[in-house]
Structure 1
C-alpha cells in the first residue's frame, strides 16, 4: 500500500498574478516562484506547505532561484493543511 500523497488529492491554491513558475512538492504542496521576470531582482519563491521562502529576495534573479525552488520542492514533505 502506498502512502505517497497524490497531487490530485489536494486542491491547487489560487495562482498569484505574478506567478512565474509553480513546482509541486513530494508532499503535494506547491513552491511558487513569483516576481516580475527573468532579469528582475524582486523574484522570490515561497512554499505553501512548510512556509519556507527565498533567503535573499533582493538578489533573486530567476536563474538563481529556480534551482533552489526546484530542490526545495523535491525535498519538502509538508502537506497542505487548507
Structure 2
C-alpha cells in the first residue's frame, strides 16, 4: 500500500455566489458564499470536514469572515474524491 499523497488537491468548482475561498492546512477549502457584504444571508462551508456557519440563516460578511479563516487555519481534513 502506498503512503504517498498528492502534492496538491484539485480545487472544487467555484459557485456563482462565492465571496471568499480559504485553503485549509489539510489542503481542502472553506468557501464563504452569499449575496455579499451588506447581507446577513452569507455562510461558510468546509469542503474537507463538512463544517459550516453556526447560524442557520447566515450572517454579515464581516462577522463570518474571521470564523471561516479560523476554521481554515485549524482544519486538517483532506478532500476525498
TM-score, normalised relative to structure 2: 0.89
Unaligned runs of 5+ in 2: none
Look up the match of 2:33.
34
Q: Which has the larger share of helix? A: 1
Counterparts of 1:2-17 in structure 2, within 5 Å, are: 9-17=8-16
Greater shift in the superposed pair: 64-73 or 50-59: 50-59
Tell me how far 1:43 sits from its aligned partner: 0.2
Retained in 2: the 8 A contact 1:37–1:62?
A: yes
TM-score, normalised relative to structure 1: 0.88
Unaligned runs of 5+ in 1: none
Counterparts of 1:1-82 in structure 2, within 5 Å, are: 9-82=8-81
What is the CA deviation profile of residues 10-37 of structure 1, one whole-angstrom value per residue up to 9, with x for unaligned ones? 1000000000000000000000000000
Runs of 4+ in 1 over 4 A off after TM superposition: none
Secondary structure of residue in 2 paired with 1:74: helix
Distance in 1, matches of 2:36 and 2:79, equals 27
Greater shift in the superposed pair: 27-36 or 57-66: 57-66
